[in-house]
Structure 1
């Protein structure tokens, strides 16, 4: 068995146009440091914005999209604490706030435990009930298994988002859930600091 670990943060948010956006910013991974963006539009069209072929092939083998686009993807932390993401036709500015109650609880669990696949397996039934649409374990395609081990979580309090220069609207909950893989991000807009483990 080959085990791959991706360390980083996942931002999940909706906008009043019906668009839902998931940003993965990965600081340590088998593919190096990278950012990818998954978008589901109001009409259900699922799009991956990937920075290179290697990322596109890996992510596309793990999740389901109607379209993938290769484009430079940048992620920058600004002095005011916001994050700026540019990915081709998509421009985002994300503002984060206080730690969530779930984030407080997650910080109480040692990282070595919270990120372990066995622990993710134990917490999956709880996540399904407590956080509608969220899963902590499931299929990564091709007979692989995937585990989401969260370290902590903070609120996303505001977003400025545009596609081809058109404003996508104000921040809303992630409803309906996104349909890229076996689980969605939490409904409440948030950033979750996470280790994703994939067993091949």
Structure 2
């Protein structure tokens, strides 16, 4: 079984630890970056894109990762291409064959301070994530747990949050314009990102039911 995956009873469980950035753009295209320092597939980055017309695209770095993500979420198109993510201080850059993305984060506000105050051992537990699910949905417009594809269940254990202050993206040669709210919510799975562009430190648990 790959690293960062294990059996829970008779169920397979995969754990991904890293960052997720949700960014809207003036063009109506919304982007969700996953940058995973630890995962069953090793470190990697992926990008989920929903265009203004609702077309959903996955950019994943290799076939194995693409198959797992495409089985867990819903896309109209899957592209296997290198996704290179570089972070230095508050500046992030993402480059692939079809996407160039950059963004800058600001200082954490009250939501980030609250998330950091929760001990990691508690923040990543499925029962805790389920307990804070309703407040998160009411206050931030996000769901922390739910069903996924292929008979799977997911939990998002958020541990920090920084607002995104500036961003720019070019997809398929077209400038997507300045950052905007993530509206309407993206439709890759049961949940979306917060409406305001932000970078979240997160541990994602995927379990086969």
TM-score range normalised by the length of the shorter chain: over 0.9
Name the CA distance, whole Å, in 2 between partners of 1:144 and 1:175: 26
RMSD: 1.0
Q: What residue is the counterpart of 1:176 in the other structure?
A: 184
Tell me the alpha carbon deviations over residues 123-145 of structure 1, each in whole angstroms, 9 at most, x when there is no partner.
1111221122x111001222221
1:152 aligned residue (142, 157, 160) = 160
C-alpha distance in structure 2 between counterparts of 1:129 and 1:49, whole Å:
30
Give the 5 Å matches for 1:23-38.
23-38=33-48
Q: Say if 1:39 and 1:47, in contact at 8 Å, map to a contact too.
A: yes
In the alignment, which residue of structure 2 is the partner of 1:18?
A: 28
Matched, 1:187 2:187: no
Residue 5 of structure 2 is matched in structure 1 by: none
Provide the aligned length of Structure 1 versus Structure 2. Answer: 198
TM-score normalised according to structure 2 size: 0.92
**Segments of 4+ moved more than 4 angstroms:** none
Q: In structure 2, what is the Cα distance between the partners aligned to 1:66 and 1:142? A: 16
CA distance in 2, matches of 1:38, 1:148: 16
Match for residue 117 of structure 2 among 85, 103, 108: 108
Deviations 1:92-130 (A, max 9, x none): 011111103211101111011011100011111112211
Structure 2 unaligned blocks of 5 or more: 1-10
Which residue in 1 is equivalent to 2:64?
A: 54
CA contact under 8 A between 1:37 and 1:87: conserved in structure 2?
A: no
Give a deviation string over 1:55-113, Cα, whole Å, max 9, x none: 100000110000010111100124x6311101221100111111032111011110110
Distance in 2 between residues matched to 1:161 and 1:118, nearest whole Å: 37
Is residue 86 of structure 1 aligned with residue 95 of structure 2?
Answer: yes
TM-score by length of 1: 0.96
- Quick one: distance in 1 between partners of 2:136 and 2:114? 13
Match of 1:98 among 87, 107, 115: 107
